[in-house]
């Protein structure tokens, strides 16, 4: 919001099926100034997914070129597909004073956090594990095998929850989005992020 300030980076993560995308969409609707960093992936788009919106969909040779050229802040493989985040895109926005929200898988969030330890980590959790299972089944896009794999991965991920700074309970989209917006605003108030103000004194 202030031209003198560098933008803040924040990470949002969570198990598959938790409704993270819907929460993020609501956050972006309320904060259109926010830059949402879209991940690159080699996985096949799901019905309705749009290139450049849900993901940047690229093929394996292109993804491997990006790795070799050092263009990625992090990358990982899940279910045989690559996922990765462009460092270049993010840093350009931060330099311009624009806040950046990153949606990354759990392993990726760990890698980014190791490189940029001041980045707040948010983790979206379901109100209960039963709700998560219902949502995964309700999506009707995955086979039973995939659902079981996602559920057992979610269980593993929940064990690492204490690594995260913030837990967002997705009971309603409005509540969860309000939590994320509050965290982004609060992070912008951190003394380290407002140090530029003190130079005037």
Question: Which residues of the chain form contacts with its own copies (CB under 8 A)?
Answer: 122-123, 125, 128-129, 158, 161-162, 164-169, 178-179, 181-183, 185-187, 189-191, 194, 197-198, 200-201
Question: Shortest distance, CB of residue 183 to its own copies, whole angstroms?
Answer: 4
Question: Shortest distance, CB of residue 81 to its own copies, whole angstroms?
Answer: 28
Q: Which is nearer to its own copies, 84 or 126 (CB)?
A: 126
Q: Which is nearer to its own copies, 2 or 81 (CB)?
A: 2
- The bridge status of strand 81-86 relative to strand 72-78 is antiparallel
Burial code (b: 16+ CB inside 10 Å, e: under 16) for 156-178 equals ebbeeeeebebebebeeeeebbb
What DSSP letter does each residue of 66-131 carry, written as one string?
HHHTT-EEEEEEETTEEEEEEHHHHHHHHHTT--EEEE--HHHHHHHHHHSTTS-EEEEE-SSHHH
Q: Which is nearer to its own copies, 40 or 123 (CB)?
A: 123
Question: Shortest distance, CB of residue 36 to its own copies, whole angstroms?
Answer: 19
Q: Which is nearer to its own copies, 32 or 162 (CB)?
A: 162
């Amino acid at each position: 919001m202030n031209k003198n300030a560098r933008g803040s980076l924040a990470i949002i993560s969570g198990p598959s099926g938790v409704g993270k995308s819907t929460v993020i969409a609501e956050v972006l609707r309320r904060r259109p100034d926010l830059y949402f960093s879209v991940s690159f992936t080699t996985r096949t788009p799901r019905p309705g997914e749009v290139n450049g919106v849900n993901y940047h969909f690229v093929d394996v040779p292109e993804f491997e070129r990006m790795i070799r050229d050092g263009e990625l802040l992090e990358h990982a493989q899940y279910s045989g597909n690559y996922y990765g985040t462009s460092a270049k895109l993010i840093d350009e926005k931060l330099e311009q004073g624009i806040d950046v929200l990153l949606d990354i898988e759990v392993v990726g969030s760990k890698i980014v956090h190791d490189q940029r330890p001041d980045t707040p980590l948010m983790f979206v959790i379901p109100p209960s594990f039963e709700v998560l299972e219902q949502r995964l089944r309700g999506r009707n896009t995955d086979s039973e095998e995939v659902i079981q794999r996602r559920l057992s991965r979610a269980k593993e991920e929940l064990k690492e929850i204490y690594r995260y700074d913030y837990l967002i309970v997705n009971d309603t989209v409005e509540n969860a989005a309000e939590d994320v917006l509050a965290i982004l605003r609060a992070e912008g108030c951190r003394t380290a992020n407002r140090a530029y103000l003190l130079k005037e004194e």
